[in-house]
Structure 1
Amino acid sequence: MNTITQLPLPSFFDSSTVGEVWRVPYQDRAMQAKEWAKRWHLQPAAKDKTRICLMAIDVQNTFCIPKFELFVGGRSGTGAIDDNQRLCEFIYHNLGTITEIAPTMDTHTAMQIFHPFFWINDAGEHPTPAATMITLGDVQKGVWKVNPAVAFSLVNGNYLALQNHAFHYVKKLEDEGKYPLTIWPYHSVLGGIGHALVSAVEEALFFHNLARNSQTRFEIKGGNPLTENYSVLRPEVLESADGRPIAQKNTRFIQKLLDFDAVIIAGQAKSHCVAWTIDDLLTEIQAKDPDLAKKVYLLEDCTSPVVIPGIIDFSDQANAAFDRFAKAGMHLVKSTDALETWPGLSL
């Protein structure tokens, strides 16, 4: 059964290190998790009466550590650090109530459609990351073209097919009213330190895993070189220019989420990967049963929007999206509120 009592923070948790990268001492934490479970009478998650999933979206160094590639500072400048401090505290306080934690992992390689090397202009220059959005008009006019150097690795040298896909891709985004193709800095690169979970969050997840006998369920996204993948539930574009599928919805994970009694969502960034994931989840819910939206809880104080000072600020778009989710039946909550006070949540 779920433990309703809010637990204290373990002594090893140091909020001042949330914005830093360090090695989690796994064996020490494993022993402490066993002792913690005994001390606070924590039951295995399999015995939970109300099954609660915490989905932590892209809580990775690349988005959450200052001076990394895409640090999400929000308007405060320290957004992701503050969010992750609250997220860690939320996990520890509710260790006996959270049944399972599912972190998503943005996962990329160098040659992908949203990275600078994929594109080139007549001067042989690549687009400036974070400051360039490639529109349908740009591709039609030849302002930006697919870099011939990527064709060998991505499509066995068929450059024309890749150029056709690029035109189809930006047109599809425009036709569906999505953001134009944004060229991002190289980030979340598989095998790199930026891809790893934030150390303090990884520690909290590992501790929950062993204290509750509940395997952390990692969800990998973003490896397809021919499409963006903000949402963990589906890529931005699913088919090629000739109609052949290049990607698919994550139907397995969608069903897994809907099987829980409650789904709590946090992570980065509120304006992009978080909003896109929630939007896709809401689409699936409305197609199946709109009342299921009531089982979704959005941790407003554990997510921040993309803000690049002097260049772009997605705060208003992120807030508008969350307002729309709330009107559809999802709950906007704070990590500091006791779970037993959350609307509709029966523990």
Structure 2
Amino acid sequence: MPTRHLLLIDPQNDFCDIHGASLPVAGAGADLHRLAALLRDEAADIAALTITLDTHRRLDIAHPGFWQKTDGGTVAPFTPITAAQLRAGEFRPRDAAALPRTQAYLEALEARGRYTLMVWPVHCELGSWGHNLHGELQTAAVAWQLERQRHAEFVLKGMNPWTEHYSALQAEVPDPADAGTQLNHALLQRLDDCDELWIAGQASSHCVKATVEDLVEHLPSRRLDKLVLIRDGMSPVTGFEPQAEDFLARMRAQGLRIATTRELSA
């Protein structure tokens, strides 16, 4: 029997399309319902469970409270901000002393070519309801731990307010002074220590995408065929559907398997 590890990326209330969520992803609630059922049904064959938690503070470089317009006006959620706009004074940090570091961050972010800074609604704030696991998945995770008599591993990401942290493996621009933003070799090794790594969560356009891209680049064994993306266990942020489809196509071309929860529990 192959050893299976289930990696669930950010299955949190704030990303679910449910009442009270601050950054709902259309379809996320149904995704997590299917994943909870998969975890219940396949508990005996899932040897390890890792759950990542997007974890932010109120003041964050990707939250509105960090920013203001030239006239001092508020910056609305879902506003992209480029290094050029910052240089031109179209936007600026509310804390004037933060300008040099912010400018350097945006330039480094854009040099990577993966994302432009996005001002998101405040989400997954530490200590809030939105930071918590989706209720049904939480219940399934507790049942798995009791049945298997082992802990699920929880990985917090995003605590550093100076960098976005989509990937569970490293921040978009790692901070040399903060080990929590740098490539997580211990997590990479744990995820590689299995025959099959099942991957799902939210969102396929951002945190799932970034995590899997980093896995493909850094997996110690280089055995990409062990990575299984659960297609009906992830959804894109509205407006980013093409990015999600491109991601899945690229991963399939690199040898990753794309499967559904029904196929995995067949």
Q: TM-score range by the shorter chain?
A: over 0.9
> What is the letter of the counterpart of residue 114 of structure 1?
A
Q: Is the 8 A contact 2:192 2:221 kept in 1?
A: no
Deviation (angstroms), 1:89? 1.3
Deviation (angstroms), 1:107? 0.5
Corresponding position of 2:187: 253
Corresponding position of 2:16: 64
Corresponding position of 1:305: 236
Q: Does 1:113 align with 2:32?
A: no
Give SS of 2:52's match.
strand
TM-score of the superposition, structure 2-length normalised? 0.95
Q: Does 1:331 align with 2:236?
A: no
Equivalent residue in structure 2 for 1:273, among 185, 192, 207:
207
> What is the letter of the counterpart of residue 253 of structure 1?
L
Deviation (angstroms), 1:338? 4.1
Equivalent residue in structure 2 for 1:210, among 146, 151, 164:
146
Corresponding position of 1:199: 135
Equivalent residue in structure 1 for 2:218, among 263, 284, 294:
284
Q: Is the 8 A contact 2:41 2:265 kept in 1?
A: no
Quick one: distance in 2 between partners of 1:245 and 1:331? 37
Quick one: distance in 1 between partners of 2:245 and 2:45? 28
Quick one: distance in 2 between partners of 1:267 and 1:295? 18
User: Percent identity of the aligned residues?
Assistant: 33
Q: Is the 8 A contact 1:113 1:225 kept in 2?
A: yes
Q: Does 1:316 align with 2:250?
A: no
Quick one: distance in 1 between partners of 2:154 and 2:252? 27
Corresponding position of 1:128: 76
Q: What do you get for the CA RMSD once the two structures are aligned?
A: 1.4
Quick one: distance in 2 between partners of 1:164 and 1:281? 32
TM-score of the superposition, structure 1-length normalised? 0.73
Q: Is the 8 A contact 1:305 1:314 kept in 2?
A: yes
Q: Is the 8 A contact 1:119 1:144 kept in 2?
A: yes
Deviation (angstroms), 1:187? 0.6
Q: Is the 8 A contact 2:38 2:265 kept in 1?
A: no
Q: Is the 8 A contact 1:72 1:269 kept in 2?
A: yes
Please give the residue correspondences for 1:73-88 in structure 2 after superposition, counting only pairs within 5 Å.
Answer: 73=26, 79-88=27-36
**Gap runs ≥5 in structure 1:** 1-48, 74-78, 149-158, 308-312, 341-347
Q: Is the 8 A contact 1:69 1:186 kept in 2?
A: yes
Q: Deviations 1:44-76 (Å, cap 9, x if unpaired)?
A: xxxxx5321101110000001423100100xxx
Deviation (angstroms), 1:289? 4.5
Deviation (angstroms), 1:245? 4.1
List structure 1 runs of 4+ shifted beyond 4 angstroms.
none
**Gap runs ≥5 in structure 2:** none
Q: Is the 8 A contact 1:99 1:214 kept in 2?
A: no
